[in-house]
Structure 1
């Protein structure tokens, strides 16, 4: 509401009131979502973790994901457990291996085990749980395709929405059946905004190049579509002499273009960026119809108001932030630096038109890049370097593809298929776009940068404000702008956090069943350890999203040693993502081979990789020999399947302090029921100040208990293990799933303190007194 008043005040020329309303809007925007947040449905909460049969309808189309699974957004109305059925009103995201053709309004019955969505508590982590909670989603579940029973379509659902979503679903299926996978997903993304199945590697390359916006239906796409609709309707109307002699053709064409633009936005999924662009286009067209001069900033404000009235939580979504900041930057830059060309359009030569178009692309790209740079850095951890050439090359391809995609959707809606020549054209353009991205990406188009601090944010936008609003010729203002730029550069390159006082930090991540630890030594070198074997071929989400973001949040852009204690596909794919996002020098593998993706990544980035079971047991990783890696392994153990890791314990020695980490094999190999590494390794090798335990199960519980007794640690870090050690253990226990990321500090003599990560207050000290090694006893 405050933003609406601000827009009206601007329209009335009262800028002081506009600023006041804008300042009021932001604290209200931060507070309102908290007021409207509701908890999970009590009935479903009582059934959490139990096998239940639920019935409900889809509130969105089912989406095929890049890993082949299907995401089914389901609104549950009833749940049956045993012989009792209870009414439920809850949204659940169900993942399955089939039924990608389910659409909005379809009713289904499915047997699931609902799980509460929880986010990871690490630096730089996106709070997915809260983001989904703001949309009313608190639970997730998995169901095999044969457990899902379609019950038909709900007639009382909106007829238009069912029609549009059915068209989107059928079009996406048709394109996937008639084009190769990568080309089909690009066409679907540019046609109907369906990008859930896009290859993650391809999306990362486009994002790194600064052209990821091509896959999100936004102002570029809606603008091209609006011009296409307008010119087509105008050309058709001019065919009629009756209309030409009695009406103003451009005004009629503008009026007919408005519903076409909103229909296009609806076909594109009605996301924030497409709605914003459609509203702005509509305001511009209404101004054309009325003969008045349009105000683009007011149009942008109106678009924001309309979106936030219906979805207040959109204020915190990346798509909303990036979309509106980019357009605002372009409009402010045009207002400040735009130069009116006295030449009329008819007198311009082809070369002149081409040069002006090129200048427009460079200008808008620069404005959008500068205004969104802090958000891009903190959201994706990269600063694009080749944004300008990438956009200059990719824009013409997009200008050609978007109208063809619009025609393809229209033809499919009318005929039920897309002609072969149109499919061939879209295929050729998508191949060209991919080839351009691959070629530019090979030139190292971006650099990984740590997240910006709040001070950096403030200085950055103060510098932009000085550039946009300071009038020319005022030397004082220009000097102030220069000072801001200097301060910005200093804040971006200097770490204002307190120094570590010469201490080594061992950070243990909250990463679910994955065991991830980061060691940062006093000389600046780093060791990242990843474990937690999984039989399922999962995605690289933990490596690419959780670990990479945490490293950048801790201002770490280089990893000296990446050690994989597990060698399943998710670990290998996650390692490839880490190498791409963060500089890695040495890679250690606890297995016989790499998969194809990791092998190519290692070759492309020149990473040195070694096999743990074929390397010497002790490695000095510091110049003075104070820091060592020790691999305690069972030499004569035979692995029947090369996909499984070997039994190994990693011991990291820092001065007189040591840390013990291991990958449990009791949950992997069926022939190690009685295996206990304590029988193989001498107790003096197991003695450590800290033990980081893998996931505890019935099969490995006794072995891990014996390991802890032999290690005699001061601190035990685990996912959840307090119950296992009784009420009065003689060592401190830290649980990452409960407390979040745990940081342990040592001065080389002893452990000095531990901290747990708080998303709001960052690291919170938990222990200030040093740990005394002599005081520790066997539990």
Structure 2
């Protein structure tokens, strides 16, 4: 019978795992991007399988049919994840359907942060009006306050199950897909005093043992340090058994600025280091076993024992998805070592990726998967041709030098290989990353982690003897934290960058491959030339989009319940009118998570002017991040000094970044930006006297109203003004309010958008910035009816997503992110 893999060296199946893995990846991507054709692809899978069997039966090579079968299998593997057919008893049918008596089991360790406890609940029953029905599905549960709920507890409470929603902007994070790939389709919240524990779901013996061990380790680590060691203890818990609940966002940012954020999660680096240290120790130990030594089995037995320890480490760490992938990757390499097939690392790496994707196809969309394989692939490809063998006759100094050079090169290749992925997802690169990794990877990876795991083994038998080991780990990590602070506090430690497109990432990797293979591969120079030409064309395209365009582009950003509008003026001037925001940026920073990604995707690194219509949180808080990281020159305000934490923070950032703060009013002169003119229409200079004399409604009525004119088109930005301010505005405008696009006042509330304003403006289009399902009911029905009666086209960010309007000075072209809401 013929083999499916008859290719000679250099053929498509020379490294068989590579084309098979690529075919599977292509199928997964198509399955996620274009779902709904599973019957067709099932037929194609059968056809490809039959074609392969026929070729084998006729003793003929089957080159493409096996790959096509794998491609189709990849497509079908995504069907359970993207299919909308969940069954009639799934919780997706009960989303946004009012309050229910919910009962379910806690699936994840609850995490307390900023007064809120979060976990995942496996919903079992829903009850209402005396009727109970069994259901299935997982929801994210937020408990307001601290609770004693533990993993496996059955809980009951009254709540609404809300659907998960995205901020629908270009370049935005797809939160719904992210949660769906974790099997979570809804969210609910309840106050701690309203949550009742009604029982416990039986846990397996292995789960109970692991949970008990994690609890014991936590207590031992707490006992191994003092009150000043909290951060070091939190890091040690994260590294030893995967508990990251003590890692604050501030600590994580310090590690990210230093370029060592990967050290805080149990990933391929930690598992690989543990495997390397254990393997080398076992090889040395087994070398004293004469039977193994005579048979040449020391390395195979060491690899087998290491595999067992790696699996135990993964189980102790809770086998999170990132840990699972790291364990599988290392396990594949160890199995290859056991089987004596370590000569081709690229093929082995492909086998590891194939094993992970077969087990979990959604892992392809995981950042940890992408970073791990990009790093290892860059190291494997980059080290080809380098000889770091020590040699038997080399001096000690030469051997140490080779090891040091190899470590530096490996670190540099890992950073270079992951750079585009890091920039694409995080928009930040650490300038000091190479230097910090050279110091911290050995300190944390080769000292603290192995010592922590050794102390864990000791704790299994003698808890008291384990405390000194954990104490030494804590001191090592205190030293590591000091090093992190030295690097992170450097003003140039990290820089924010725009988002590279998929095309730009491909150019980078192709150019990198070509540079490494110049003189080796026949087409390397042609690939490099093509990459340079394509990069030049890409640069010209973005230069036109950013600086050479002659139109005015206005984008209403979907920030939920709030307002944020970006004006891109001819010549590249960028103005942001409000920035959205929630009440507490510590819980969710709209500027960082929503507004900034849209700017970075459009290659905007500088926002020249920020306009704060008034200092309410849903207009102000998103501006803080933009002011800090986007080279802002000026902030325009209405003069309201309403003292809030957000306002004080914004003013502090302005002082730190030397941003000029200008108070504007209706008497301020118009400001011209080429052919575009911005005019302040409201409030008057006398509007604010003292804060004590102004109530909240009056504060809204003090919003800066801006008229942006470009040729024959006019955009009117109104903030949160209500009926009183609208009447004043109409009276003072003297018939000059007519506009093409009106941004509806106060999110479309019934206290605004009066007939007088609509008649004075006579807009063709009305844009309403409001959050989906907001508790205020914005926009109110009578307001939208009023606009429709006036013949206006109504666009709402809650249903249309980001709304982009382009004006050439004569008309306005409109495009919404959600084309068919």
Confirm or deny that 1:164 pairs with 2:220: no
Alpha-carbon contact 1:7-1:302 (below 8 Å) kept:
no
Give the conservation status (yes or no) of the 8 Å contact 2:738–2:763. yes
Q: Secondary structure at the match of 1:85?
A: strand
Q: Bigger shift: 649-658 or 540-549?
A: 649-658
Tell me if 1:660 matches 2:716: yes
Deviation at 1:566, TM superposition (A): 5.2
| Residues 403/616 of structure 1: CA separation in 2 closer, same or farther (3 Å cut) | farther
Alignment of 1:477-626 (within 5 A): 477=523, 479-487=525-533, 489-491=535-537, 493-495=539-541, 502-530=550-578, 534-535=582-583, 539-565=587-613, 567=615, 574-588=622-636, 591-592=641-642, 598=650, 601-604=653-656, 606-610=657-661, 612=663, 618=668, 621-622=671-672, 626=676
Aligned to 1:649: 704
Structure 1 position 217, deviation (Å): 1.6
The match for 1:770 is: none
The corresponding residue for 2:419 is 373
Q: 1:114 maps to which residue?
A: 161
**For the structure 1 residues 148 and 503, does the alpha-carbon distance in structure 2 shift closer, same or farther, using more than 3 Å as the test?**
same
Question: Which residue of structure 2 aligns with residue 462 of structure 1?
Answer: 510
Name which of 437, 441, 445 aligns with 2:493: 445
Output the CA distance in 1 between the equivalents of 2:345 and 2:695: 58
Q: 2:112 — aligned with what?
A: 64
Q: Deviations over 1:501-546 (max 9, x none)?
A: 5111110011211211111101211111225575556534321121
Tell me, yes or no, if the aligned pair for 1:383 and 1:449 is still in contact at 8 Å. yes
1:30-45 equivalent positions in 2, closer than 5 A:
30=29, 31=31, 32=75, 34-36=78-80, 37-39=82-84, 42=88, 44=91, 45=93
Counterpart in 2 of 1:358?
404
Structure 2: give runs of 5+ residues left out of the alignment.
32-74, 771-777
1:754 aligned to 804, 811, 814, which one?
814
Change (3 A) 1:498 1:232: closer
Distance 2:395 2:197 in 1: 60
8 A Cα contact 2:444 2:477, kept in partner? no
CA distance in 2, matches of 1:693, 1:463: 49
Q: Which residue of 1 aligns with 2:683?
A: 633
Following TM superposition, by how much is the alpha carbon of 1:12 offset from its aligned partner in structure 2, in angstroms? 11
Q: Distance in 2 between matches of 1:642 and 1:173?
A: 54
User: For the residues of structure 1 that align with 2:608 and 2:7, how far apart are their CA atoms?
Assistant: 56
Tell me which moved more, 90-99 or 439-448.
Answer: 439-448
Q: Figure out how many residues of one structure are paired with residues of the other and give that number.
A: 737
Match of 2:194 among 147, 165, 168: 147
Give the whole-Å Cα distance in 1 for the aligned partners of 2:569 and 2:167: 25
Match for residue 20 of structure 2?
Answer: 21
Structure 1 residue aligned with 2:806, among 745, 749, 763?
745
Q: Supply the RMSD in Å over aligned alpha carbons.
A: 4.0
Is 1:224 matched with 2:273?
Answer: yes
Q: 1:127–1:497: structure 2 CA closer, same or farther, 3 Å change rule?
A: farther
- Larger CA deviation: 702-711 vs 738-747: 702-711
Aligned-residue offset at 1:478? 5.0
Does the 8 Å CA contact 1:6/1:18 hold for their aligned counterparts?
no
CA shift at 1:57, angstroms?
Answer: 1.3
Per the alignment, residue 775 of structure 1 pairs with none
Separation (CA, whole Å) in 2 of partners of 1:551 and 1:470: 37
Cα distance, 1:677 vs structure 2:
1.5
User: 1:122 Cα shift?
Assistant: 0.7
| Cα distance in structure 1, aligned partners of 2:109 and 2:568 | 45
1:135 has 2:182 as partner: yes
Q: Secondary structure at the match of 1:583?
A: coil
User: 1:202: Cα distance to partner?
Assistant: 3.8
Q: Report matched runs for 1:163-242 at 5 Å.
A: 163-168=209-214, 171=217, 181-195=230-244, 198-230=247-279
Distance apart, 1:240 and its partner CA: 9.3
- The alignment status of 1:717 with 2:777, answered yes or no, reads no
Say whether 1:79 aligns with 2:126. Answer: yes
CA distance in 1, matches of 2:620, 2:461: 46
- Identify if the C-alpha distance between structure 1 residues 401 and 563 changes in structure 2 by more than 3 Å, giving closer, same or farther: farther
> Please, which moves more after superposition, 109-118 or 486-495?
486-495
1:732 and 2:793 matched? yes
Answer with 239-248 or 525-534: which moved more: 239-248
Query: Per the alignment, in what secondary structure is the counterpart of residue 123 of structure 1?
Result: coil
Preserved CA contact (<8 Å) 1:382 1:446: yes
Q: 3-state SS of the aligned residue for 2:661?
A: strand
SS of corresponding position for 2:752? helix
In terms of mean alpha carbon deviation, does 244-253 or 203-212 score higher?
244-253
Deviation string 1:193-237 (CA, Å, 9 cap, x unpaired) is 333553334434433443222122222211222244345666777
Distance, in Å, in 2 between the alignment partners of 1:244 and 1:281 is 25
Q: 1:14 to 1:423 in 2, by over 3 A?
A: closer
Preserved contact between residue 510 and residue 740 of structure 1 (Cα < 8 Å): yes
CA distance in 2, matches of 1:101, 1:172: 17
Aligned to 1:670: none
Cα 1:347/1:257, change in 2 over 3 Å: same
Deviation at 1:282, TM superposition (A): 3.2
Q: Are 1:54 and 1:79, in contact at CA under 8 Å, matched by a contact in 2?
A: yes
More divergent stretch after superposition (720-729 vs 316-325): 720-729
Q: TM-score, normalised by structure 2?
A: 0.79
Contact kept? 1:618, 1:628, Cα under 8 Å: no
Please state how far the C-alpha of 1:396 moved relative to its aligned partner.
2.7
The Cα of 1:450 is off from its aligned counterpart by 2.8
Per the TM alignment, residue 554 of structure 1 is displaced from its structure 2 partner at its CA by 1.1
Q: Contact 2:562 / 2:581 at 8 angstroms: preserved in 1?
A: yes
Distance 1:218 1:174 in 2: 24
Instruction: Write the distance in 2 (CA, Å) between the matches of 1:138 and 1:10.
Output: 48
Once the two structures are TM-superposed, the CA of residue 314 in structure 1 deviates from its matched residue by 1.2
What CA distance in whole angstroms lies between the structure 1 residues aligned with 2:194 and 2:115?
18
- Kindly indicate whether the alpha-carbon contact (under 8 Å) linking 1:529 and 1:564 is maintained by their aligned counterparts in 2: yes
Cα gap change, 1:712 to 1:623, in 2 (>3 Å): closer
SS where residue 140 of structure 1 aligns?
strand
Give how far 1:333 is off.
1.6
Are the counterparts in 2 of residues 592 and 642 from structure 1 also a CA contact under 8 Å? no
Q: CA 1:98–1:418 in 2, change beyond 3 Å: closer, same or farther?
A: farther
Partner Cα distance (2:628, 2:790) in 1? 42
Give the secondary structure class of the aligned counterpart of 2:550.
coil
CA distance in 2, matches of 1:201, 1:57: 32
- Partners of 1:489 and 1:25 in 2: how far apart? 29
TM-score, reference length from structure 1 = 0.83
Aligned position for 1:777: none
Contact 2:115/2:146, CA 8 A, preserved across alignment: no
Q: Which residue of 2 aligns with 1:691?
A: 742
| Contact 2:552–2:710 under 8 Å retained in 1 | no
In the alignment, does 2:377 pair up with 1:328?
yes
Stretch deviating more after TM superposition (631-640 or 502-511): 631-640
Listed one character per residue, the Cα deviations across residues 636-679 of structure 1 (whole Å, up to 9, x for unaligned) are 4654599976631331423454433344388xxxxxxxx72124
Distance 2:672 2:683 in 1: 22
- Consecutive unaligned residues in structure 1, runs of 5 or more: 667-674, 759-763, 767-779
Asked whether the 8 Å contact 2:122–2:137 carries over to 1, the reply is: yes
Structure 2 residue aligned with 1:319, among 368, 392, 396? 368
8 Å contact from structure 2 (residues 78, 361) kept in 1: no
